[in-house]
A and B are shown apart, each in its own frame.
Chain A
């Protein structure tokens, strides 16, 4: 079997894992693709496969006219669900995935039942147990191929992870900005000094002092990318000194180099996360990341989201398991709009146009 280059390869691999009895026990108890009953999230989700069909579930996306629409209700999602239903019928998904949450699926991965899974770069840490338990098992990261010529985009959440707010009427609001600048300078910038500002070692205990700062700045996307590039160069040339300018992920160097040299399984997960970084850097740069167009909460969302989310998960699970026909998707879209989705989209679009 070769590495998946196209989406058809992916489906062929799924079929091979299902039909060719890879564990050789003579029973049809292996599956192509691992999916858990939450459907989305960073591990064993259907998001990656949806991306292959240019569907971006649970994400606010801009359509051709620039208006924000909901990713889960777009026609591409219907195609994804149709394919998943087909795979389910062919036995390539666990027949019982509907009752299995992420932990349960992880157990099944450890029981050597799955061939593939879509997830985030840190998934190897979850798979480590499985790999240790099953000698010869390995997992490799690959970019998601596209259903057509257009490259796949990966949908990502809202990029702001936190805000620094200052009370209205505070005497010196500019102080917060000054503190942010200082933090940025000593942790990520010109005065960066690992031993002094970031990790202080005392009596053998490492304390991450930068995380204790009242006001903190995170590493920017660009900073992460530059650090990873340095990390990659350092690992490829085995020159640790290159890491002195890296802002984050420097702890991956030692374990990865060790794994590449000795194959030490203790470092399998770190090394494989690094492989994931490399795959991501080579494939998902620039416009291949699709960020949600709206990261807040509207009043109707507060009122209706529980209902809408339940409706979505219920319908999608039923369609995949063949308990409802694929065309049930159209009913779902109509219901979703009627039960508050349309109002939410109006609020989002109104808010976004008011910001211009």
Chain B
């Protein structure tokens, strides 16, 4: 009997195979490459010919004059993005949920989702024009309010804010859809019961909608905590310039220069490995916390 069941389900299990192979080839095999982080790696000598140098690559990065600043920039930009990237879509999803006309709701949903599909190469060029102090529309509007033009992309006080706001603008539509989906899965009888008990809109939101969304919110927080060291390479690379290295240079752009301008793949891999280890630890801890505090499990 058991064997017959197994035989019957075998084709279904085999369907998993292509996916497994892809994960193996593209996610697990490349992990072997982390050995480069402990080598004085040169392409011509390869993995087996390059000498082992222990932790020297890590020491080299710590000895670079700007590393402290770069790590701080990365943490600051990434954390602000995570916080704003959680808060904004939840609020927008709650607000959209209250919109009764379906065409407005869907229209807004589509419009805010659109920038997600544009690459930072394109948006970089657009933002440079939008934020230009002489011709940009943003400064033109500020000018109408009597505010002097601000050179957003060349001012160390403004540059991180530009990164955070433009990133949230680009991505919040996507998360909003996730939260809206979570809201629709809330059992409508709960609302009916609440109305019977005399709960208004605000009370319904606080005591039914938000708790109903909680599992998804916890999941999104857990996943995003892994990004604490990802401040967004594409974005920074396309918007940064020498004037804002001080506030905008992040680990990824530093790795890029080390790896591709100086061909120091060992050092670049070392920094990449460091980032991965930190992300792994943070995801593990937040997952454990999510289980403990919200009784939430992914598996």
Contacts and interface: CB of A to CB of B under 8 A. Distances in A.
Nearest to B267: A303
Given A303-B60, A310-B245, A317-B242, A96 B133 contact: yes
Interface residues of B, number: 26
Contact of B133 (A37, A95, A317): A95
Contacts of B151: 95-96
B165 interface: no
Given A302-B264, A306-B262, A307-B66, A98 B133 contact: no
Interface string B145-156: 000000101100
A81 B143 CA distance: 32
Given A95-B133, A98-B154, A104-B125, A314 B261 contact: no
A153 B139 CA distance: 43
B257 A306 contact: yes
Contact of A104 (B128, B133, B242): B128
Interface in A293-352: 302-303, 305-307, 309-310, 313-314, 316-318, 321, 323, 339
Given A99-B128, A306-B258, A29 B243 contact: no
Interface residues of A, number: 23
A109 to B, nearest CB: 16
Nearest to B149: A95
Interface string B74-111: 00000000000000000000000000000000000000
Nearest to B63: A303
Interface in B221-253: 241-243, 245-246, 249
B263 A306 contact: no
B39 interface: no
A305 B261 contact: yes
A100 interface: yes
A317 B64 contact: no
Contacts, number: 64
Nearest to A309: B261
Nearest to A310: B245
Contacts of A309: 257, 261
Nearest to A321: B243
A306 B257 CA distance: 6
B257 A318 contact: no
B187 interface: no
A170 B135 CA distance: 64
Contacts of B154: 96, 98-99, 321
B261 A306 contact: yes
28 contacts: A37-B242, A95-B133, A95-B134, A96-B132, A96-B133, A96-B134, A99-B154, A99-B243, A104-B128, A302-B262, A303-B262, A305-B261, A306-B258, A306-B261, A306-B264, A307-B64, A307-B66, A309-B257, A309-B261, A310-B66, A310-B242, A310-B257, A314-B242, A314-B243, A317-B243, A318-B242, A321-B154, A323-B243
